Structure 1
Amino acid sequence: MVLALHPEWQEMAREEVLQVCGQNEPNFEALTHLKIAAALFSQVNMILNEVLRLYPPVISLCQHTYKDTGIGNIHLPAGVDLALPMLLIHHDPEPWEPVLAKKFAMLEAKMALAMILQNFEFNLSPSYIHAPPTVMILQPQHGAQIIIHQL
């Protein structure tokens, strides 16, 4: 959905995937070479990190203190309920530069995205309405209607 919103990102990532992998199925070795010279992350990594920053799968975390707890200089007595609004925290790009993600999950996501970009171009349907609701898990309220074209 985000690549359909930003076709320039889609094209840059596709060019990188085709340059590194050609039409061959991406493998671990190829995925480790998905990087533009002098860039810390590849286009594919940057796209995945930006999507996770803007649309984290979990929008908030809740924690209950069962005993007196200290976090830095902050003292929290027992019985306090804490809410950490991930959706708000993630919209600040500063902590994401650089970011260390869960390696296996990111490898799987890169593999899937590379294979999709090798074979398809996608655009948002004119009927798409951007309305991500803020419930426990972030998801498109009205679905994500995408038009897919085989290359």
Structure 2
Amino acid sequence: MIINEALRLYPPTVFLLRHASEQTKLGKLSIPVGTQSMLPILAIHHDPSLWGTDAKDFNPGRFSEGIAKATKNPMAFMPFGAGPTICVGQNLALLEEKLVLAMILHKFSFVTSPSYTNAPSLLITLKLEYGAQVIFHMD
């Protein structure tokens, strides 16, 4: 739940680009061949109409019943993209994230530094401009 919520707030891929290779109908919208579309994952992951009034808050409990019930639309959670072009490294990234988190929690407790400033920075991917400033305590 914690990992999913962190990926929702800070997805590694902040947008997807798609190219229409054929005439496509999307609801009432007709998309001509050659149209380039951008799907703003970061905006979707922070949309209160999909995630509720606490969409900008860190709330791992929203995933307590799984990804499909965390939001009003199960396709609204796509930190690694979606469909046939989903990130091939998704499973490895999630496995590494779980292993590192388990290793850290096994030996340490930690708190956010009082001087920490949350400053997400968007380049090609989303990263913290000043890093994640935490204070570790040996257990």
Q: Does the alignment reach a TM-score above 0.5?
A: yes
Pairs within 5 Å for 1:1-16:
none
Pairs within 5 Å for 1:109-128:
109-128=97-116
In structure 1, the partner of 2:51 is 93
Pairs within 5 Å for 1:2-151:
46-91=1-46, 92-93=50-51, 98-99=66-67, 105-151=93-139
CA deviation after TM superposition for structure 1 residue 66, in Å: 3.2
CA deviation after TM superposition for structure 1 residue 104, in Å: 5.2
More strand by share: 2
The 8 Å contact of residues 60 and 136 in structure 1, kept in 2 or not, is answered as no
Relative to the length of structure 1, the TM-score reads: 0.58
CA deviation after TM superposition for structure 1 residue 85, in Å: 0.6
Give ranges in structure 2 of 5+ residues lacking alignment.
53-61, 69-77, 79-89
Query: 1:36-57 deviations in whole A, cap 9, x for unaligned?
Result: xxxxxxxxxx101110111101
Looking at CA atoms only, which structure, 1 or 2, has the larger radius of gyration? Answer: 1
Give ranges in structure 1 of 5+ residues lacking alignment.
1-45
Q: CA RMSD in A?
A: 2.7
Query: How many angstroms apart in 2 are the aligned matches of 1:63 and 1:133?
Result: 23
Query: How many angstroms apart in 1 are the aligned matches of 2:14 and 2:107?
Result: 32
